[in-house]
């Protein structure tokens, strides 16, 4: 049986809001250099100069130490303009690095402020036996039952255990259209801070005060709970190692300079400046901002990542498990045609199909009534105007609907159920009926049999073809994923024939038919055993084990609390196709980090060859041949490099926050592109930038 739940209707036409449309996160300013945001972030950047904070980034901690050392040395000689200039730019380098992180965090705090408005002190109606008592929402505990009626604010996270209600979740999703929450099934979870618009429900509280969904959202978007990911830790170790290597290289310059008689060119201020220019300060300054911005981009699309690890894992995913219903297909199957058996006209079949569907309130049943009206001109009848009719409503148990009218019984439903109904009444099923059902199933459709029992006995009149429509553009998107090296697997409760037809039409790589929770778990474990990272979506309690097992588990906000607890991401829009965007954002995060790391290291190499020849050209005139930029003087070379080193951080902040543009490609092709654009750019940019700054400095008195 399929575990997919149709995506909730959010607009009059049943369309989902755009991925970056109406969410809370998108109503805050997201400008990269919003002056107000910069001013708000500056105090945070200055507070981050605390050594206890800076030590978390080894590279920037070295810059801070260098800034302190040059400040002390400059104070010993207040007339040394060069020492003061170096000191000022080293401090600016440190502040710029902190500002990049503060701006990224500041955008999250703006989103958190919006979410805090949804947190209001509420009074809950707690159920105590047959009575109710009014208590503060903060006094509720796990397992408490509370009653909410129209106009009430839901006091805490929980599951509806009784009733059905329309709920306004705009405080979370930003979407003004209400959603339905009901007991049982996969749409029972409610969130504290949302508002009941109609009816009455009883809710079982599932979280402690201060640990609600909104509390977790606030902490995560503020960055308070953001831990370094394994990749970040590994990269920090690499950067620290490079820093040690360059530190040793710079320290050895002092004895060489003394031996060469160029001791005046290698003062401690010069060595400190040289060290800061050579260590990978660019990526060290932007590393945290890149990670925070990656989570921020998810929030802008109304996806809440429970950890940075989940975002990174999304970028490394190699297998995607996607529900068919609502993800690959539109979700609601529609009646496409009536196929009558031999000896029965299509108009007779259409009339019987419409009659038997009047008591079927499912989307499929409604579509049959509409098709009969539009194709065969049959007026849509109502149950009220057919006097004496005994209606048989559609249920999941019988899988049939129908009507008993004027001595005739008409039934419509799943093939197995209708065949059993006919045979129980002594009737038989013709061979062409079986051929029609097989043909529809092989074409990817769903066959429904229509049967009648009258004076001539029980018999099948024909088949209704229900078609599951594949969403437009899905084949192209799956082709993009294939180019990225990602294998797509469609999960469905349909029979293998139907599943195969839909899989071929959609262009997925594989499918899992008649899937059970155990089947999903087994598939995920098989993929992981082969060294692959797996992502999947889910919304029901029966999806929770697979969501927990998957490397990236995206739970729908409309789903149960168990599903949201098991996943490491929650899609507030409950749009299953968002998983494809999540993978792209994860890859963009990894590509951005890799691109800026490449640029930073190439940058350092270029600065080394730009500065060293200028520094030692006095002692070793032959080195002047390597001074290809023709820098004015050693002082100008060093100061130009320090200024460039600070300004390049500012220049790259927008790229770190926005992310490098992602294009589906193989790993080899992306590597070549990174080396060509950011590696070569990292080598060329310092030569151009340092030369321009040197020319400007040469215009100042005392430097030429």
Instruction: Say if residue 394 carries a ligand binding annotation.
Output: yes
DSSP code, position 263: G
Instruction: Say if residue 399 carries a ligand binding annotation.
Output: yes
Instruction: Say if residue 616 carries a ligand binding annotation.
Output: no
Hey, how many other C-beta atoms are within 10 angstroms of the C-beta on 432?
A: 16
Instruction: Say if residue 412 carries a ligand binding annotation.
Output: yes
Instruction: Say if residue 434 carries a ligand binding annotation.
Output: no
Instruction: Say if residue 687 carries a ligand binding annotation.
Output: no
Instruction: Say if residue 476 carries a ligand binding annotation.
Output: no
323 is catalytic: yes
Instruction: Say if residue 61 carries a ligand binding annotation.
Output: no
Angle value at C-alpha 226, between 58 and 193, nearest 5 degrees = 160
Q: How far is CA 286 from the centre of its chain?
A: 22
Q: Phi first, then psi: give them for residue 323, nearest 5 degrees.
A: -65, 145
Show Cβ contacts of residue 688 under 8 Å, excluding neighbours closer than 6 positions: none
Instruction: Say if residue 484 carries a ligand binding annotation.
Output: no
Q: Please report where in the chains the tokens 């004895």 appear, as a residue.
A: 255
Of 318, 321, 662, nearest to 508 by C-alpha is: 321
Contact, 636 vs 265, CB < 8 A? no
What are the counts of helices (DSSP H) followed by strands (DSSP E) for the chain?
23, 21
DSSP lists the bridge partners of residue 415 as none
Q: Please report where in the chains the tokens 């400046």 appear, as a residue.
A: 273
Contact, 356 vs 410, CB < 8 A? yes
Hey, how many other C-beta atoms are within 10 angstroms of the C-beta on 262?
A: 18
- Separation in Å, CA 344 to CA 20, 375, 579: 52, 17, 47
Instruction: Say if residue 234 carries a ligand binding annotation.
Output: no
Helix, strand, or coil (residue 320): strand
* Structural tokens at position 632: 């004015």
Helix, strand, or coil (residue 372): helix
- Polymer length in residues for the chain: 704
Hey, how many other C-beta atoms are within 10 angstroms of the C-beta on 122?
A: 18
Q: Phi first, then psi: give them for residue 160, nearest 5 degrees.
A: -70, 125
Of 669, 665, 671, 674, nearest to 485 by C-alpha is: 665
- Separation in Å, CA 656 to CA 104, 392, 502, 582, 667: 9, 61, 40, 18, 21
**What is the distance between the alpha carbons of residues 103 and 105, in angstroms, rounded to a whole number?**
5
Helix H segments across 48-80? 51-54, 58-76
**What is the distance between the alpha carbons of residues 467 and 281, in angstroms, rounded to a whole number?**
58
**What is the distance between the alpha carbons of residues 66 and 390, in angstroms, rounded to a whole number?**
88
Instruction: Say if residue 539 carries a ligand binding annotation.
Output: yes
Contact, 260 vs 620, CB < 8 A? yes
Contact, 377 vs 395, CB < 8 A? no
* Structural tokens at position 20: 């970056």
**What is the distance between the alpha carbons of residues 334 and 357, in angstroms, rounded to a whole number?**
13
Q: How far is CA 65 from the centre of its chain?
A: 38
- Separation in Å, CA 333 to CA 434, 445, 486, 609, 653: 21, 9, 28, 67, 48
DSSP code, position 428: B
Instruction: Say if residue 361 carries a ligand binding annotation.
Output: no
List the catalytic residue out of 323, 573, 604, 694.
Answer: 323
- Where are the extended beta strands (E) located within 533-619? 534-538, 552-556, 569-571
Instruction: Say if residue 364 carries a ligand binding annotation.
Output: yes
DSSP string, 612-644: HHHHHTTT-GGGGGG-TT--S-HHHHHHHHHHH
The secondary structure of the chain in percent helix, strand, coil, rounded to multiples of 5, reads 55, 15, 30
| Residues with catalytic roles | 323
Residue set of the binding site for Mg(2+): 539, 543
């Amino acid at each position: 049986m399929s575990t997919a739940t149709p995506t909730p209707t959010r607009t009059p036409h049943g369309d989902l809001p755009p991925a970056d449309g109406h969410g809370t996160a998108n109503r805050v300013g997201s400008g990269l250099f919003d002056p107000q945001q910069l001013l708000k972030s500056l105090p945070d950047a200055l507070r981050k100069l605390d050594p206890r904070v800076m030590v978390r980034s080894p590279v920037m901690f070295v810059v801070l130490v260098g800034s302190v050392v040059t400040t002390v040395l400059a104070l010993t000689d207040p007339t040394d303009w060069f020492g003061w200039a170096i000191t000022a730019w080293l401090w600016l380098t440190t502040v710029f690095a902190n500002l990049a992180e503060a701006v990224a965090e500041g955008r999250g705090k703006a989103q958190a402020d919006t979410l805090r408005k949804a947190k209001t002190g509420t009074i809950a109606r707690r159920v105590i036996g047959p009575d109710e008592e009014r208590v503060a929402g903060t006094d509720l505990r796990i397992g408490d039952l509370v009653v909410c009626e129209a106009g009430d604010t839901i006091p805490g996270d929980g599951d509806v255990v009784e009733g059905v209600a329309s709920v306004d979740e705009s405080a979370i999703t930003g979407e003004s259209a209400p959603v339905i929450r009901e007991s049982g099934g996969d749409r029972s979870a409610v969130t504290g801070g949302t508002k009941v618009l109609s009816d009455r429900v009883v809710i079982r509280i599932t979280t402690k005060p201060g640990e609600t969904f909104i509390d977790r959202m606030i902490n995560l978007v503020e960055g308070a709970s953001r831990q370094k990911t394994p990749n970040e830790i590994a990269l920090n170790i690499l950067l620290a190692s490079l820093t040690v290597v360059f530190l040793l290289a710079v320290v050895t310059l002092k004895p060489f300079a003394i031996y060469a008689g160029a001791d005046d060119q290698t003062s401690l201020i010069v060595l400190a400046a040289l060290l800061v220019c050579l260590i990978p300060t660019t990526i060290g300054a932007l590393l945290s901002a890149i990670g925070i911005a990656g989570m921020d981009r998810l929030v802008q699309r109304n996806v809440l990542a429970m950890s940075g690890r989940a975002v990174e894992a999304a970028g490394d995913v190699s297998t995607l498990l996607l529900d068919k219903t609502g993800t690959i297909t539109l979700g609601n199957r529609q009646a496409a045609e009536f196929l009558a058996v031999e000896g029965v006209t299509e108009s007779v079949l259409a009339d019987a199909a419409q009659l038997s569907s009047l008591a079927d309130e499912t989307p499929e049943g409604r579509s049959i009534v509409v098709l009969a009206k539009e194709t065969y001109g049959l007026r849509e009848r109502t149950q009220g105007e057919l006097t004496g009719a005994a209606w048989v409503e559609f249920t999941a148990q019988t899988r049939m609907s129908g009507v008993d009218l004027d001595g005739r019984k008409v039934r419509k439903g799943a093939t197995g159920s209708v065949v059993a109904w006919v045979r129980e009444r002594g009737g038989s099923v013709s061979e062409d009926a079986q051929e029609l059902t097989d043909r529809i199933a092989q074409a990817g459709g769903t066959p429904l049999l229509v049967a009648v029992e009258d004076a001539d006995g029980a018999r099948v009149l024909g088949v209704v073809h229900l078609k599951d429509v594949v969403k437009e553009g899905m084949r192209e998107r799956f082709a993009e994923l294939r180019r990225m090296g990602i294998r797509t697997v469609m999960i469905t409760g349909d029979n293998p024939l139907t599943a195969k037809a839909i899989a071929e039409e959609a262009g997925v790589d594989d499918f899992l038919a008649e899937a059970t929770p155990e089947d999903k778990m087994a598939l995920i474990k098989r993929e992981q055993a082969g060294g692959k990272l797996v992502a999947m979506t889910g919304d029901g309690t029966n999806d929770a084990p697979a969501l927990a097992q998957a490397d990236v588990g995206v739970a729908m906000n409309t789903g149960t609390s168990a599903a949201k607890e098991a996943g490491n991401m929650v899609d507030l829009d409950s749009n299953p196709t968002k998983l494809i965007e999540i993978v792209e954002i994860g890859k963009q995060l990894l590509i951005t980090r890799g691109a800026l790391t490449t640029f930073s290291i190439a940058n350092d190499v270029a600065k080394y060859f730009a500065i060293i020849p200028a520094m030692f050209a006095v002692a070793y005139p032959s080195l002047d041949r390597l001074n290809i930029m023709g820098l004015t003087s050693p002082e100008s070379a060093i100061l130009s490099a320090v200024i460039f080193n600070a300004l390049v951080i500012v220049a790259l902040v927008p790229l770190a926050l926005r992310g490098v543009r992602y294009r589906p490609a193989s790993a080899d092709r992306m590597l070549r592109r990174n080396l060509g654009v950011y590696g070569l750019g990292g080598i060329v940019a310092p030569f151009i930038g340092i030369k321009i700054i040197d020319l400007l400095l040469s215009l100042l008195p005392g430097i030429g």
